Amino acid sequence: MNFEFSDEQQLLREQARGFLTEHCPTSAVRAVLDGDQDWDAALWQKVADMGWTATVIPEAYGGLGLSYYELAIIAEEMGRSAAPLPFSSSVYLASEAIQRFGTESQKSEWLPKLASGECVATVAMAERAGRLVFDQLETRCEGASLTGYKAPVADAAIADVAVVLARSGEGLEACLVPMKQSGVSIEPVLTFDTSRGHSAVTLKGAEAQVLGDRTLQADEWLCLLDGAAVLYAWEQLGVAESALTQARDYALQRFAFGRAIGSYQAIKHKLANMYVKNTLARSNAYYGVWALAEGSDELPLAAATARVAAIQASTYAAEENIQTHGGMGFTWEFDCHFYYRRAKLLSLAIGSEAVWQDRLVSALAQQSAAA
């Protein structure tokens, strides 16, 4: 495997970073946090115009037909800017679910809308705190009707459609549910990062369409989550890199007792530890995106490794960035909390660190058994 992006991919990184630096400065994130909106709708349209929402959607459905390498690059830059957008919900999860499980008719109906950014989608899995247990799902699919409760659901308040995980008499089902209907009730849920809105969704006889023409196997859904975990890892890496950069810049500019605080050993150690964790996470993220892009059987192992390393790196970097800033780092006026909030939020999306550590151990056990 090659742990380097191509020249063309590096150009994409530069383009994405330049675009988000211009259109998603920290002031844009602060505006969402200070306001009553769950996202930056204008920025979403600009991102869609750049083609990022269409990155891995096939050309036949209005997409660009690029690889997961390109999507990973965009994901990292999204994390670097802490963009207040439903990118992970709509692109990493919902679009992927429709591509993987949908019928030709469903793909033709929804993928062009998702590619253009006209439609925002999300995925509703959890029903309570804790681990997702497929056999214990209480949301029921009966024909074209869905009844149940899902919480928390990222971006539910702004989504046009949701892929809802449910059970029917035949087994596990993924159902397409239009969110603007009388059978769907959405209540906001307070989360640590209010620039990414979450909600509790109650379904009472909601109109729904089963995704695909057969029931799902649990392993198929876990494979979807493996792919998403890799992309989340790249986004978390972006968060970690921004936190490190912010801490480094402050350490060079802040003087105490006549010298920059970055010259003190305690601060040097913080920054060095952040760098080491970020570099390790990047190595594992490369492994993950390689396995995803190449369709490798190593994906479960690679995804879990990338996810755990990225959670640890982003959380550590965000915490140490605040510590490096001292008392001012804890204030609303400084931007440190942007990355802390996003790191904490992403660390719980699609399962906590403990969940993915268990997935990692299971993947290692399976690899050993097959050897």
CATH assignment at residue 96: 1.10.540.10
CA atoms of 142 and 165, how far apart (whole Å): 13
The HSE-up count of residue 341 (CA atoms within 13 Å, CB side) is 23
* Residue after which a domain boundary falls, among 63, 91, 116: 116
In a domain, 224, yes or no: yes
pLDDT tens sequence across 295-331? 999 999 999 999 999 999 999 999 999 999 999 999 9
pLDDT by residue for the chain (371 residues), tens only, comes to 566 889 999 999 999 999 999 999 999 999 999 988 889 999 999 999 999 999 999 999 999 999 999 999 999 999 999 999 999 999 999 999 999 999 999 999 999 999 999 999 999 999 988 888 999 999 999 989 999 999 999 999 999 999 999 999 999 999 999 999 999 999 999 998 999 999 999 999 999 999 998 899 999 999 999 999 999 999 999 999 999 999 999 999 999 899 999 999 999 999 999 999 999 999 999 999 999 999 999 999 999 999 999 999 999 999 999 999 999 999 999 999 999 999 999 999 999 999 999 999 999 999 888 87
Residue 55 is encoded by which pair of tokens?
A: 């990155």
* Residue after which a domain boundary falls, among 210, 233, 263: 210
Are residues 105 and 234 both part of a single domain? no
Are residues 223 and 340 both part of a single domain? yes
For the four alpha carbons of 240, 342, 41 and 58, in that order, the dihedral sign comes to: positive
**Closest residue by Cα to residue 84 from 345, 366, 358:** 345
Are residues 189 and 230 both part of a single domain? no
Burial class (CB in 10 A: 0-12, 13-18, 19+), 36: exposed
In a domain, 364, yes or no: yes
DSSP strands (E only) in the chain: 121-124, 140-142, 145-154, 161-167, 172-178, 184-189, 198-207, 209-210, 255-256, 259-260
In a domain, 1, yes or no: no
Helix (H, G, I), strand (E, B) or coil at 164: strand
Are residues 138 and 171 both part of a single domain? yes
* Residue after which a domain boundary falls, among 210, 235, 268: 210
Look up the CATH number of the domain holding residue 360.
Answer: 1.20.140.10
Are residues 225 and 365 both part of a single domain? yes
In a domain, 139, yes or no: yes
Place of tokens 């396995």: 291
**Closest residue by Cα to residue 273 from 313, 233, 322, 325:** 313
Are residues 285 and 319 both part of a single domain? yes
Are residues 35 and 175 both part of a single domain? no
CA atoms of 162 and 179, how far apart (whole Å): 7
Place of tokens 């699919």: 141
Look up the CATH number of the domain holding residue 206.
Answer: 2.40.110.10
Q: Where are the alpha helices (DSSP H) in 213-298?
A: 218-253, 265-294
Burial class (CB in 10 A: 0-12, 13-18, 19+), 225: buried
pLDDT tens sequence across 140-166? 999 899 999 999 999 999 999 999 999
In a domain, 141, yes or no: yes
Are residues 364 and 222 both part of a single domain? yes
- Angstrom CA distances, 146 to 114, 123, 175, 201, 265, stand at 23, 15, 8, 12, 59
Are residues 82 and 99 both part of a single domain? yes
Bridge partners (DSSP) of residue 145 are 142, 207
Are residues 103 and 141 both part of a single domain? no
In a domain, 183, yes or no: yes
Helix (H, G, I), strand (E, B) or coil at 260: strand
Are residues 155 and 257 both part of a single domain? no
In a domain, 236, yes or no: yes
Bridge partners (DSSP) of residue 188 are 199
Amino acid at the residue 239: V
Are residues 232 and 337 both part of a single domain? yes
- Domain carrying residue 203: 121-210
In a domain, 2, yes or no: no
Number of domains in the chain: 3
